[in-house]
């Protein structure tokens, strides 16, 4: 009798506990690459950072602006080159330090520094100054109407903490550096880091002093994040209840998950395009069998390669319908996207072979394709399919698929000649794509442009976008740049991804087009 | 007298048929069935280019629209028929198994050969010479034994992959696999041969050879080696099954045969992604083939061990 009473009490206690403490076990294919919030401009890295750090402005789960560390912002009266941000008062970092204007100045300057991967977003900013403790002015090089949309992934770091721990400089990821900020955090965000083992497990717990405690559900009190690269294992974990939420249900298992009692799949088109990049800037490339010249430097070869890709077959078989074939490397969400350009990719093997012949590669050539295997939906399978399709026009492709942590540095270090990349556009504007992927690679822009493409005129046009206030004129320039990108076949677009989040029924959340769950918005029923 | 004996001597085949080993084989149904399975699979692998409906290693012959065709059905888009279905890339599973088995068997045989040559040589040296040679060789063997063979293979594979230029990586993958598995597997041979050599080297025939002044190497190769070969044969057979599984494991982990030239392990890796979605054939047929191959070779090895063991006769 005594035993039953004890059991009942224990049971009661445990249910009471679970009502107040909800652990969300979260899995996706890959891990965050670093905890340094300015070192990698990469989706999963930002997703984890968003739980711990906060920018001035965030996008909520629908993609709309929402004040975060800034309460409001507006261009300064009388000076169109200045944006004024009023900061939230009474915000503290996880270690108890106050969040002030000084931290904003520090963080923006840090994100503009050499090793930062975020600097392309801040090229128009010439100065950031603290007016008082809770007001900051951003001075731009000419009026920049879209500045706020560039700040939604720009996290604020405590100046004092960074100085005390020697992490004033951004971690040099490409150089293989590790700093204190790579494994330690001190943000203002809703969750704080408990433990982290990269690629294995990261545990976060609710920040009891979070400023938004009354504004957000904050139902999730603990987050356990386990990257599970293998698709079947990931699904098995969801099916068995080992995890509550996975961000990337493999397309082949959508039916299975949806039919399982207690699980739901939520689907939405993603703000992300998948494409192949080609090194066209070098005179000769290392990863092919053509001596003395670079076949990819010939636009006819690039066009032929694009024509050889059967995007409908990839959609039908590899993606099982969960994609939209693309003709340009901008998702439909983005200003500058046109339906005409996005339907430009046509499969035509005969024309492709003729172009190869014309370019002098009638007998084909061989080249290595570098591909990630834990980043995009069926990334490796898409690359494999491309191997078969390119073989049709005589191009022998050696596929080298590896985890993204090894794949991405190849692109940023110019060590690959033919690679897969996906690009999401958090600013919803083409300028972001141009700055990273089209502009000549340099200290300020072009860090993800692995193509070697460099065109002074195009660079000029791209730079003019930041300060063009006449929106019609700006849009015209955007179209002109796209025309060059399309004409030159700078990239081979494949498709726009569709997001499939799988979760336990108790998890209440809608899919964000950024594939960016912010757990403070999650409700647990 | 000698001449007469020569005349009544039966043919080689007849002698083989009448030997103890053959007799024991004929009276072990498990061994007969296993040998039959191995024979069928090996012939299938060797004659793959003649038997297989298409060459799955030639990406130009693939049609992605044939992907995920169920076994013994026509594809809904193309109308093509595949007896064992197709995988996610539209590769005929039957052809891919035949070609994949070539890689698996080739890697297995070559790796065991490498391990055997290396292990037997080092074992003979250690056993016969003794002293420092023995200490060094056997301590290295002991150290290597403390690591799982698959870990050693992965280490060797990683290093070899790192130093091969990228354009040769696909071609080199097979050789690197052989090297990795071979180098991780020599210890067993070395230990057994050393043990047997220790016993043999004090026998009278060895002493006699030494007395008439034969060189140590001649004694090792000509006199001792033939007498320690029986256990080597048994280990080699069982090692072959293990090497095939090791190759499959490495490829399953994604560090072995490239996905564009799949071995059985690569096929299983591809197939297991579709385990929950109903496309069972991509996993099932390669896995069943690997099972049949490894099990048959293992059973043959078991039989051989019993047949060669004088105590069990």
The edge-to-edge listing of strands for the beta sheet with A135-140 is A70-76, A79-87, A135-140, A125-132
| High-pLDDT (> 70) share of chain A, % | 96
Indicate yes or no: CB of A316 within 8 angstroms of CB of B77: yes
Mean pLDDT, all residues of chain A: 92
A474-517 pLDDT, tens digit per residue, is 999 999 999 999 999 999 999 999 999 999 999 989 999 889 99
DSSP state of A27: E
Chain A, nearest residue to B269 by Cα: A230
pLDDT of A5 above 70:
no
Predicted pLDDT of residue B3: 54
Interatomic CA distance for residues A231 and A377, integer angstroms: 10
| High-pLDDT (> 70) share of chain B, % | 94
Nearest to B64 among A239, A314, A366 (CB): A314
What burial class does residue A412 get, using C-beta atoms within 10 Å of its C-beta: 0-12 exposed, 13-18 middle, 19+ buried? middle
Indicate yes or no: CB of A288 within 8 angstroms of CB of B167: yes
Nearest to A252 among B58, B90, B274 (CB): B274
Please tell me the least confidently modeled range out of A169-173, A442-446, B159-163, B284-288: B159-163
- Across the range A142-163, mean pLDDT stands at 93
- Across the range A381-408, mean pLDDT stands at 92
Q: Name the minimum distance, in Å, from the CA of A445 to any CA of chain B.
A: 29
Predicted pLDDT of residue A25: 96
pLDDT of A2 above 60:
no
Could you write out the three-class secondary structure of chain B?
CHHHHHHHCCCHHHHHHHCHHHHHHHCCHHHHHHHHHHHHHHHHHHCHHHHCCCCCCCHHHCCHHHCCCCCCEECCCCCCEECCCECCCCCEHHHHHHHHHHHHHHHHHHHHHHHHHHHHHHHHHHHHHCHHHHHHHHHHHHHHHCCCHHHHHHHHHHHHHHHCCHHHHHHHHHHHHHHHHHHHHHHHHHHHHHHHHHHHCCCHHHHHHHHCCCCHHHHHHHHHHHHHHHHHHHHHHHHHHHHHHHHHHHHHCCCCCCCCCCCHHHHHHHHHCCCCCCCCHHHHHHHHHHHHHHHHHHHHHHHHHHHHCHHHC
Tokens 């689907």 belong to residue: A267
Indicate yes or no: CB of A232 within 8 angstroms of CB of B276: yes
Query: Which DSSP helix (H) or strand (E) runs through A202?
Result: strand A201-206
What CATH number is given for A270-497 in this structure?
A: 3.10.105.10
- Across the range A442-455, mean pLDDT stands at 92
- Using DSSP bridges, classify how beta strands A523-524 and A507-508 pair: parallel, antiparallel or unpaired: antiparallel
- Binned at pLDDT 50, 70 and 90, residue B276 comes out as confident
- Across the range B123-130, mean pLDDT stands at 93
Query: Same fold for the domain at A2-244+506-524 and the one at A270-497?
Result: no
Predicted pLDDT of residue A8: 52
- Using DSSP bridges, classify how beta strands A125-132 and A135-140 pair: parallel, antiparallel or unpaired: antiparallel
SS3 A300: helix
pLDDT of A44 above 90:
yes
- Binned at pLDDT 50, 70 and 90, residue A369 comes out as very high
pLDDT of A14 above 50:
no
pLDDT of A444 above 50:
yes
> Are B181 and B107 contacting, i.e. CB atoms less than 8 angstroms apart?
yes
Interatomic CA distance for residues A410 and A371, integer angstroms: 10
Predicted pLDDT of residue A401: 86
B186-233 pLDDT, tens digit per residue, is 999 999 999 999 999 889 999 999 999 999 889 998 899 998 888 898
Could you give all domains of chain B from N- to C-terminal order, each with its CATH number? 22-312 (1.10.3720.10)
Which residues from chain B sit within 8 angstroms of residue A363, using beta carbons?
none
Interatomic CA distance for residues A388 and A411, integer angstroms: 23
Q: For residue B76, what are its two tokens? A: 């809904």
Indicate yes or no: CB of B60 within 8 angstroms of CB of A232: no
* Beta-ladder partners of A366: A396
* Beta-ladder partners of A207: none
Q: Name the minimum distance, in Å, from the CA of B133 to any CA of chain A.
A: 42
Which residue did the predictor score with more confidence, B115 or B160?
B115
Interatomic CA distance for residues B28 and B73, integer angstroms: 40
**Of A171, A151, A120, which Cα lies nearest the Cα of A423?**
A120
pLDDT of B149 above 50:
yes
Nearest to A313 among B65, B260, B276 (CB): B65
- Binned at pLDDT 50, 70 and 90, residue B5 comes out as low
What is the third-level CATH fold of A2-244+506-524?
Answer: D-Maltodextrin-Binding Protein; domain 2 (3.40.190)
> Are B90 and A316 contacting, i.e. CB atoms less than 8 angstroms apart?
no
Q: Name the minimum distance, in Å, from the CA of A372 to any CA of chain B.
A: 13
Domain boundaries of chain A, sorted by first residue = 2-244+506-524, 270-497
Size of chain B in residues:
313
A264-321 pLDDT, tens digit per residue, is 999 999 999 999 999 999 988 888 888 889 999 999 999 999 999 999 999 999 999 9
Interatomic CA distance for residues A378 and A312, integer angstroms: 15
Tokens 């699979």 belong to residue: B41
Nearest to B277 among A253, A366, A391 (CB): A253
Nearest to A392 among B60, B259, B273 (CB): B60
Interatomic CA distance for residues A232 and A240, integer angstroms: 12
Q: How many Cβ atoms from other residues are within 10 Å of residue B152's Cβ? A: 18
pLDDT of B164 above 80:
no
> Are B198 and B206 contacting, i.e. CB atoms less than 8 angstroms apart?
no
Q: For residue B145, what are its two tokens? A: 């034994």
Interatomic CA distance for residues B257 and B107, integer angstroms: 10
B54-101 pLDDT, tens digit per residue, is 888 888 888 899 989 999 888 888 888 999 999 988 899 999 999 999
SS3 A236: helix
Q: Name the minimum distance, in Å, from the CA of B91 to any CA of chain A.
A: 10
Indicate yes or no: CB of A401 within 8 angstroms of CB of B167: no
Q: How many Cβ atoms from other residues are within 10 Å of residue A194's Cβ? A: 12
Predicted pLDDT of residue A19: 43
> What ipTM does this complex have?
0.76
Predicted pLDDT of residue B1: 46
- Binned at pLDDT 50, 70 and 90, residue A16 comes out as very low
Predicted pLDDT of residue A37: 96
Given its phi and psi angles, is residue A489 left (phi above 0), alpha (psi -120 to 50 degrees) or beta?
A: left
A354-365 pLDDT, tens digit per residue, is 999 999 999 999
DSSP state of A251: G
A218-270 pLDDT, tens digit per residue, is 999 999 999 998 888 999 999 999 999 999 999 989 989 999 999 999 999 99
Interatomic CA distance for residues A254 and A239, integer angstroms: 12
B25-65 pLDDT, tens digit per residue, is 888 899 999 999 999 999 999 999 999 988 888 888 888 99
Q: For residue B256, what are its two tokens? A: 């072995």
Nearest to B167 among A230, A384, A398 (CB): A398
Predicted pLDDT of residue B255: 76
Indicate yes or no: CB of A399 within 8 angstroms of CB of B275: no
pLDDT of B139 above 70:
yes
- Binned at pLDDT 50, 70 and 90, residue A6 comes out as low
Interatomic CA distance for residues A504 and A523, integer angstroms: 12
Q: Does A229 contact chain B (CB < 8 Å)?
A: no
Q: How many Cβ atoms from other residues are within 10 Å of residue A205's Cβ? A: 17
Q: Name the minimum distance, in Å, from the CA of A217 to any CA of chain B.
A: 34
pTM, 2 dp: 0.83
Indicate yes or no: CB of A288 within 8 angstroms of CB of B59: no
Interatomic CA distance for residues A204 and B306, integer angstroms: 59
Instruction: Give the rounded distance of the alpha carbon of B78 from its chain centre.
Output: 39
Predicted pLDDT of residue A12: 46
| High-pLDDT (> 90) share of chain B, % | 45
**Of A319, A322, A276, A280, which Cα lies nearest the Cα of A300?**
A280
- Binned at pLDDT 50, 70 and 90, residue A17 comes out as very low
Interatomic CA distance for residues A124 and A467, integer angstroms: 7
Which residues from chain B sit within 8 angstroms of residue A250, using beta carbons?
273, 277
Predicted pLDDT of residue A4: 53
Chain B, nearest residue to A390 by Cα: B60
């Amino acid at each position: 009798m005594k035993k039953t009473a004890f059991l009942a009490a224990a049971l009661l206690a445990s249910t009471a506990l679970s009502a107040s403490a909800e652990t969300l076990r979260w899995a996706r294919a890959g891990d965050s690459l670093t905890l340094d919030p300015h070192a990698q401009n990469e989706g999963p890295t930002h997703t984890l950072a968003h739980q711990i750090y906060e920018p001035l402005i965030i996008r909520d789960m629908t993609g709309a602006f929402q004040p975060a560390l800034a309460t409001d912002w507006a261009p300064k009266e009388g000076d169109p080159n200045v944006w004024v941000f009023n900061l939230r008062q009474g915000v503290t970092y996880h270690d108890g330090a106050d969040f002030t204007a000084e931290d904003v100045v520090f963080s923006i300057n840090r994100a503009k520094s050499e090793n930062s991967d975020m600097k392309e977003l801040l090229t128009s900013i010439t100065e950031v100054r603290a007016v008082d403790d809770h007001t900051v002015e951003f001075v731009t090089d000419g009026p920049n109407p879209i500045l706020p949309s560039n700040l939604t992934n720009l996290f604020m770091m405590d100046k004092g903490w960074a100085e005390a721990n020697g992490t004033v400089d951004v971690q040099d990821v490409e150089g293989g550096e590790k700093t204190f900020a790579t494994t330690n955090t001190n943000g203002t965000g809703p969750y704080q880091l408990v433990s982290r083992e990269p690629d294995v497990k990261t545990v976060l717990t609710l920040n009891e002093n979070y400023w938004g405690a009354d504004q957000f559900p904050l139902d999730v009190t603990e987050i356990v994040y386990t990257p599970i690269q293998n698709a079947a294992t990931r699904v098995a974990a969801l099916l068995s209840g080992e995890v509550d939420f996975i961000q990337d249900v493999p397309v082949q298992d959508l039916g299975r998950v949806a039919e399982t009692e207690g699980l739901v799949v939520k689907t939405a088109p993603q703000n992300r395009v998948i494409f192949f990049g080609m090194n066209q800037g070098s005179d000769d490339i290392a990863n092919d069998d053509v001596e003395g010249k670079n076949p990819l430097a010939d636009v006819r070869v690039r066009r032929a390669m694009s024509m050889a890709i059967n995007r409908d077959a990839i959609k039908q078989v590899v993606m099982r319908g969960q994609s939209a074939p693309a003709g340009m490397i901008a998702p439909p969400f983005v200003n500058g996207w046109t339906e005409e350009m996005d339907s430009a990719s046509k499969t035509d093997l005969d024309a492709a072979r003729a172009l190869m012949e014309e370019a002098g590669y009638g007998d084909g050539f061989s080249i290595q394709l570098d591909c990630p295997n834990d980043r995009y939906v069926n990334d490796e399978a898409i690359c494999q399919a491309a191997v078969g399709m390119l073989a049709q026009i005589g191009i022998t492709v050696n596929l080298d698929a590896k985890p993204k942590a090894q794949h991405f540095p190849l692109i940023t270090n110019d060590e690959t000649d033919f690679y897969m990349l996906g690009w999401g556009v958090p600013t919803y504007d083409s300028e972001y794509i141009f700055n990273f992927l089209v502009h000549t690679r340099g200290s300020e822009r072009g860090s993800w442009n692995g193509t070697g493409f460099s065109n002074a005129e195009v660079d000029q046009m791209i730079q003019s976008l930041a300060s063009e206030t006449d929106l019609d004129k700006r849009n015209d320039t955007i179209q002109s740049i796209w025309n060059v990108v399309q004409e030159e076949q700078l990239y081979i677009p494949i498709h726009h991804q569709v997001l499939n989040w799988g979760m336990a029924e108790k998890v209440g959340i809608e899919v964000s087009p950024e594939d960016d769950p912010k757990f403070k918005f999650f409700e647990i029923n | 007298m000698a001449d007469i004996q020569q005349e009544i001597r039966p043919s080689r085949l007849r002698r083989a048929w009448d030997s103890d080993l053959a007799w024991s084989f004929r009276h072990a149904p498990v061994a007969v069935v296993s040998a039959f399975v191995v024979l069928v699979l090996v012939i299938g692998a060797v004659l793959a280019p003649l038997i297989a409906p298409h060459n799955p290693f030639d990406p130009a012959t693939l049609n992605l629209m044939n992907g995920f065709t169920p076994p013994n059905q026509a594809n809904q888009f193309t109308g093509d028929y595949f007896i064992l279905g197709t995988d996610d890339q539209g590769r005929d599973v039957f052809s891919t198994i035949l070609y994949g088995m070539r890689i698996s068997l080739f890697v297995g045989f070559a790796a065991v050969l490498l391990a055997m040559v290396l292990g037997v040589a080092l074992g003979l040296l250690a056993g016969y010479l003794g002293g420092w040679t023995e200490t060094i060789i056997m301590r290295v063997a002991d150290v290597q034994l403390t690591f799982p063979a698959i870990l050693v293979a992965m280490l060797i594979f990683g290093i070899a992959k790192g130093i091969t230029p990228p354009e040769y990586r696909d071609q080199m993958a097979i050789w690197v696999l052989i090297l990795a598995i071979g180098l991780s597997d020599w210890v067993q041979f070395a230990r057994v041969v050393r043990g047997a050599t220790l016993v043999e080297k004090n026998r009278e025939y060895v002493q006699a050879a030494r007395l008439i002044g034969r060189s140590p190497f001649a004694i090792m190769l000509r006199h001792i080696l033939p007498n320690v070969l029986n256990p080597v044969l048994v280990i080699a057979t069982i090692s072959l099954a293990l090497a095939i599984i090791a190759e499959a494991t490495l490829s399953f982990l994604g560090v072995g045969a490239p996905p564009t030239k799949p071995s059985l392990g690569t096929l299983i890796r591809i197939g297991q992604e579709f385990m929950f979605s109903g496309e069972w054939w991509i996993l099932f047929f390669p896995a069943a083939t690997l099972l049949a191959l490894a099990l048959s070779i293992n059973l043959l090895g078991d039989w051989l061990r019993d047949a060669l063991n004088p105590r069990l006769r």
